[in-house]
Amino acid sequence: MVWEERWHPLREEWVTIAAHRQNRPWQGETVRAETKFVPEYAGDCYLCPGNTRISGRRNEDYAGVYVFDNDHPCVGLDAPTDLAAPTGIYRNRPATGIARVVCYSPQHNSSLAQLSPGEIRSLLGVWREQYLDLAARPEINHVLLFENRGEVVGVSNPHPHCQIYATNFVFKTIADEARVSLAHWRETGRVLFQDIIAAERQDEIRILAENEHAIAFVPYFARYAYDVCVAPKRTHRSVADLSGDELSDLAAALKIVLVKFDNLWQAPFPYVMTLHQAPTDGGDYRGFHFYIAFHPPLRKPNLLKYMGGPETGGGSFISDTSPEEKAAELRAASNIHYTQSN
């Protein structure tokens, strides 16, 4: 048995690695893996081309990437300002912002993993356009792009899509990363994420994909079993700052990771994907390095990583797996999607 603590430099917290717990007896709940038929077009899907959404608005008959304002946004530009004053030390304010939906493809049965590198490159271009549009608005301080994939992370509609929350506040994880990255820059003159990339390239064993301009790896400090970072090698604050070649190489690395995920268990792999981009509030973000993070919730087929006392109550992760072992599993997975290899 090995008990080890690894420092997560971006979050400034310790991650406990207790990989021997992966095979402990389990009598709790499991996730059923059911193979469901998913049609190319679904008449009752709110995201398919030409369909009417719950708001009564009709989708365009789109052929590529399609973006629209969320019909049930968590924030709004017309958020009410006449809020009741809270008691004592409590504070409140209007939840101002813009929420959008980005459909990757008109095909209901597709996924980000099944898009071609060229299609992923086009999607990155749309993400860039959305970031620039929303970041230019004075009321927006942060643009968060994310995808929740799979029913186990709460997705009710399988149509391939992600969401954008452009808000009047900075999400805490990004705020913390910006703070520690700036502190590292001031103390060392180096970019923190560049130091992470350098360490991963030196170790090599956790790297999943690498090309001229991009790299993907299971980080040394992984919290979830299959945590993965996909990043440009040069430091940029957002996807909007990447060159055309960098976007193409990032798309290629992203494609490899996504395919390896699905190929690992020959099934659609659930995850939470987030784009870590600098806030847009005009702050000092020297040293901030844009990257894409994947947090898959399964540590085994059909078995979730549950948030228990240490994680939810204590605020520190205990990992039941070894980042090196999980990286080896993903490295061994094919780069050709299992649905195309038969």
54-86 pLDDT, tens digit per residue, is 899 999 999 999 999 999 999 998 888 888 999
Mean pLDDT computed over 118-141: 97
Q: Are 283 and 178 in contact (CB under 8 A)?
A: yes
* Torsional sign, CA 107, 113, 115, 120: positive
> Is 161 marked active-site?
yes
- Has residue 48 got a pLDDT over 60? yes
Cβ atoms within 10 A of the Cβ of 2, count? 8
Residue 128 contacts residue 240 (beta carbons within 8 Å): yes
Q: How far apart (Å, rounded) are the C-alpha atoms in residues 288 and 253?
A: 21
* Cα 122 to Cα 112: distance, rounded to the nearest angstrom: 12
Task: Tell me the two tokens of residue 214.
Answer: 């991009």
pLDDT of residue 342: 55
pLDDT digits (tens, 9 = 90+) for 221-272: 999 899 999 999 999 999 999 999 999 999 999 999 999 999 999 999 999 9
Sheet holding 4-8, edge to edge: 4-8, 13-17, 318-319
Report the pLDDT value the prediction gives residue 36, as an integer from 0 to 100.
73
Span 288-296, mean pLDDT?
A: 97
Lowest mean pLDDT among 19-28, 101-110, 179-188: 19-28
Provide the residue type at 331 as one letter. R
Share of the chain above pLDDT 90, in %: 78
The pLDDT score that the predictor gives to residue 315 is 73
User: Residues annotated in the binding site for Zn(2+), as ranges?
Assistant: 45, 48, 108, 159
Q: Give the strand pairing for 13-17 and 318-319.
A: parallel
pLDDT at position 22: 47
Confidence band for 25, pLDDT divided at 50, 70 and 90 = very low
Please report which confidence band the pLDDT of residue 26 belongs to, taking 50, 70 and 90 as the band edges. very low
The token duo for 156 is: 């009710």
CA dihedral 326, 306, 220, 295 (to 10 degrees): 80
pLDDT at 106 over 60: yes
Question: Rounded to an integer, what is the distance from CA 323 to the centroid of its chain?
Answer: 18
pLDDT (0 to 100) of residue 24:
46
Residues annotated within the binding site are 45, 48, 108, 159
- pLDDT band at residue 20, thresholds of 50, 70 and 90? very low
What is the Cα–Cα distance from 44 to 266, expressed in whole angstroms?
A: 27
In Å, how far are 82, 148, 264, 315 from 304, measured between CA atoms? 42, 15, 16, 18
Q: Catalytic residue, from 161, 184, 236, 289: name it.
A: 161
Strand locations in 3-121 (E): 4-8, 13-17, 66-69, 97-103
pLDDT at 301: 79
Confidence of residue 153 (pLDDT cuts 50, 70, 90): confident
CATH C-level class of 7-19+39-332: alpha beta
Segment 274-285 shows an average pLDDT of 96
| 3-class secondary structure, 16 | strand
Mean pLDDT, rounded, of the chain: 91
Give me the sheet containing 161-167, strands edge to edge: 66-69, 97-103, 161-167, 142-149, 271-276, 291-295, 228-232, 214-217, 207-210
